[in-house]
Amino acid sequence: MLPFASCLPGSLLLWALLLLLLGAASPQDSEEPDSYTECTDGYEWDPDSQHCRDVNECLTIPEACKGEMKCINHYGGYLCLPRSAAVINDLHGEGPPPPVPPAEHPNPCLPGYEPDEQERCVDVDECAQALHDCRPSQDCHNLPGSYQCTCPDGYRKIGPECVDIDECRYRYCQHRCVNLPGSFRCQCEPGFQLGPNNRSCVDVNECDMGAPCEQRCFNSYGTFLCRCHQGYELHRDGFSCNDIDECSYSSYLCQYRCVNEPGRFSCHCPQGYQLLATRLCQDIDECESGAHQCSEAQTCVNFHGGYRCVDTNRCVEPYVQVSDNRCLCPASNPLCREQPSSIVHRYMSITSERSVPADVFQIQATSVYPGAYNAFQIRAGNSQGDFYIRINNVSAMLVLARPVTGPREYVLDLEMVTMNSLMSYRASSVLRLTVFVGAYTF
């Protein structure tokens, strides 16, 4: 067993930095005679001291280190280091080499290493043992044989200190950027929210997120709009909807009465009328529709807003009925001598407040005898002069002279007299016209 077996501490192998030429320890338990002794690479046998002696390769190997590297002799090898590298141990000092320590003694460990119980050189954790000189702003990282001071994420080294990186200077955010110690946060304008990448801003659909629109909500880029259904208007607050009182806008919306309803309006008509085309009122013809209560012996007469049941037989003595509307005074009856020979019943209906003069009824003579002429007059029922007759040869027109307001009823006796003086002929007949004036202008 050769003593130099322990001259080759594994901890000398600084692979990363150094070009270290070390011979592999080959088995030395040979049966060689004492006179011949072989040392491992880097050592030579010194017969004087009977020890293996280190070879100073820096002196013996030409150009042991290339270029700018300097050669540093080492036990069993040599190191090539940058010229600026500080050498802590004077490994290549002059003088006799230090004796190779026996195995029982602790091995010298390189800086950053210390021997453990088994005398193996193990790494010192400078960070854990507060043996480092990292600034409080720096993180300490232990490394084999040394340590490193680094800046945390989001910091960078300026001089000896780590300072926060202002990420906001790099326009990472679409809208707004808030720098934070070691990081940053993007923010979005109102109506937007951060996208999945936490940097871009995407429109918020406020309508899906409970926007406070009372009726209709329209999302738009960055905001939303409330709208109202037809018949409502948006309140000043922009959210709620107020019913529009359509009836207050115009008195022409409905012919009779406008009734405002939520979101709409409706037209109503007075009794006896029905709604026609949403706003107009049309008289219901109860006689036609069968809604009347007239008996068999009666005739139904419709007028604006109602109807009247009149006795079908309206003839009064000495008149006798000859048809539904016609009563005749028989010439044979002496009582009829001074009476109109016939009375014809007619009914008509007009609306209130017609513009006047208004032609309302025309009387037509049925026959004109040669030499005869007709005369027309209102014989009864026109006490206030609301009507007059415009005579036109063989016919006459009943004219409303003044605007009248219903409900009102006139019974006018219009007389037509046909005369022929040559033949001493005179015939009179009466048209008994009932004029109903409705309560309304329609």
Ligand X SMILES: *[C@@H]1O[C@H](CO)[C@@H](O)[C@H](O)[C@H]1NC(C)=O
Residues 199-238 that bind ligand X (CB under 6 A): none
Q: In angstroms, what is the minimal distance from the CB of 185 to ligand X? A: 8
Q: In angstroms, what is the minimal distance from the CB of 399 to ligand X? A: 16
- In this structure, what is the dihedral angle of CA atoms 115, 116, 118, 122, given to the nearest 10 degrees? -70
Residues 52-71 that bind ligand X (CB under 6 A): none
Is the Cβ of residue 393 or residue 424 nearer to ligand X in the bound state? 393
Q: In angstroms, what is the minimal distance from the CB of 393 to ligand X? A: 3
By Cβ distance, which residue is nearest to ligand X?
393
Is the Cβ of residue 107 or residue 187 nearer to ligand X in the bound state? 187
Tokens of 155: 């910091």
Is the Cβ of residue 57 or residue 167 nearer to ligand X in the bound state? 167
Residues 143-202 that bind ligand X (CB under 6 A): 196-198
DSSP 318: T
Residues 246-305 that bind ligand X (CB under 6 A): none
Q: In angstroms, what is the minimal distance from the CB of 409 to ligand X? A: 32
Q: Which residue has the tokens 């009925």?
A: 321
Tokens of 60: 């013996």
Which residue type sits at 290?
Answer: G
Is the Cβ of residue 334 or residue 370 nearer to ligand X in the bound state? 370
Contact 162, 137 (CB under 8 A): yes
Is the Cβ of residue 197 or residue 383 nearer to ligand X in the bound state? 197
Q: In angstroms, what is the minimal distance from the CB of 342 to ligand X? A: 24
Sequence-ordered strand ranges (E) for 211-318: 216-220, 223-227, 232-234, 241-243, 257-261, 264-268, 273-276, 280-283, 298-303, 306-311
Q: In angstroms, what is the minimal distance from the CB of 385 to ligand X? A: 23
Is the Cβ of residue 131 or residue 368 nearer to ligand X in the bound state? 368
Q: In angstroms, what is the minimal distance from the CB of 391 to ligand X? A: 8
Is the Cβ of residue 26 or residue 197 nearer to ligand X in the bound state? 197
Measured between alpha carbons, how far is 389 from 437 in angstroms, rounded to an integer? 18
Contacts 24+ apart (CB under 8 A), 134-137: 135/160, 135/161, 135/162, 137/161, 137/162, 137/163
Is the Cβ of residue 220 or residue 364 nearer to ligand X in the bound state? 364
Tokens of 240: 């709620």
Q: In angstroms, what is the minimal distance from the CB of 195 to ligand X? A: 9
Q: What angle do CA 9, 13, 14 make, to 5 degrees?
A: 145
Q: In angstroms, what is the minimal distance from the CB of 371 to ligand X? A: 13
Contact between 393 and ligand X by CB under 6 A: the answer reads yes
Q: Annotate 209-233 with b (16+ C-beta within 10 A) or e (fewer).
A: eebebbeebebeeeebebebeebbe
Binding mask 345-384 for ligand X (x = CB under 6 A): ----------------------------------------
Is the Cβ of residue 217 or residue 396 nearer to ligand X in the bound state? 396
Q: In angstroms, what is the minimal distance from the CB of 310 to ligand X? A: 35
Tokens of 14: 């600084």
Contact 184, 171 (CB under 8 A): no
Measured between alpha carbons, how far is 246 from 306 in angstroms, rounded to an integer? 30
Is the Cβ of residue 47 or residue 370 nearer to ligand X in the bound state? 370
Measured between alpha carbons, how far is 246 from 252 in angstroms, rounded to an integer? 11
Number of residues that bind ligand X (CB under 6 A): 5
Residues 98-127 that bind ligand X (CB under 6 A): none
> Which spans of this chain sit near ligand X (rule: CB under 6 A)?
196-198, 392-393
